[in-house]
């Protein structure tokens, strides 16, 4: 990406002042993206030559997990930003965490720079950061809705609140787990102690019934 930026800022490469200005504007946008997201997170995929369309990917750390990154691929037409074609944006991820990326959110992000999108493109105006930032927000809203839906389904799921009756075999196994003391004779009475290991206070009543 740095090599492309240097080429864009080399005014001698361009036959006209207008083309040189377009290239310089793009260079400043790319530098701004590197400054915001990190140089290693803005990766050039194709378009190293200044006279061809540019394709690059921006990696955004997903705030829900440091191990997950959102990958947004941006294509810039030749001559951006003073061209007659809008840039395009595409979500590279197939999944995000435990959620499968659906067609609805993928289609929404692909229209980011369209007139009805979240960052409508205007010829001659820088729009890359606005588009990437708004796409990230749209993805965040989608994630929140999916999370709420899963949480609601979990809350609505029926739960078995009745304890299963203890079978004869399990009762016999519990009896074998008891520890018995030696018989103690005291004033013509016999005393025998029993002990059982428990892992939770709720097991006390169950053990008493053995």
pLDDT, tens only, 59-106:
998 876 667 899 999 999 999 999 999 999 999 999 998 899 999 999
- Of the listed ranges 95-99, 112-116, 121-125, 177-181, the least confidently predicted one is 177-181
Residues 28-64 have pLDDT tens digits of 999 999 999 999 999 999 988 888 999 999 999 887 6
| Sequence ranges of the domains in the chain | 41-148
CB-based contacts of 43, cutoff 8 Å, min separation 6: 1, 56, 57, 58, 59
| Average pLDDT score over the chain | 83
What is 41-148's CATH number? Answer: 3.10.110.10
Peptide bond into 81 cis (omega under 30): yes
Q: Is the dihedral of CA 90, 75, 37, 1 positive or negative?
A: positive
Residues 155-203 have pLDDT tens digits of 555 555 555 555 555 555 455 566 666 666 665 566 566 666 666 566 6
């Amino acid at each position: 990406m740095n090599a492309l930026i240097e080429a864009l800022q080399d005014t001698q490469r361009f036959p006209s002042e207008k083309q040189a200005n377009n290239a310089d504007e793009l260079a400043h946008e790319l530098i701004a993206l590197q400054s915001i997201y990190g140089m290693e997170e803005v990766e050039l995929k194709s378009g190293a030559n200044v006279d061809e369309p540019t394709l690059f990917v921006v990696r955004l750390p997903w705030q829900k997990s440091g191990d997950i990154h959102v990958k947004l691929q941006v294509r810039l037409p030749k001559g951006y930003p003073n061209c007659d074609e809008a840039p395009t944006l595409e979500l590279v991820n197939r999944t995000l965490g435990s959620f499968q990326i659906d067609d609805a959110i993928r289609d929404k992000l692909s229209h980011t720079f369209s007139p009805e999108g979240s960052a409508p493109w205007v010829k001659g105006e820088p729009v890359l950061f606005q588009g990437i930032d708004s796409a990230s927000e749209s993805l965040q809203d989608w994630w929140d809705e999916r999370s709420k839906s899963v949480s609601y389904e979990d809350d609505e799921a029926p739960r078995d609140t009745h304890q299963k009756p203890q079978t004869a075999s399990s009762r016999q196994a519990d009896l074998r787990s008891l520890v018995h003391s030696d018989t103690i004779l005291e004033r013509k009475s016999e005393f025998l102690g029993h002990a059982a290991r428990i892992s939770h206070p709720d097991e006390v009543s169950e053990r008493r019934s053995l």
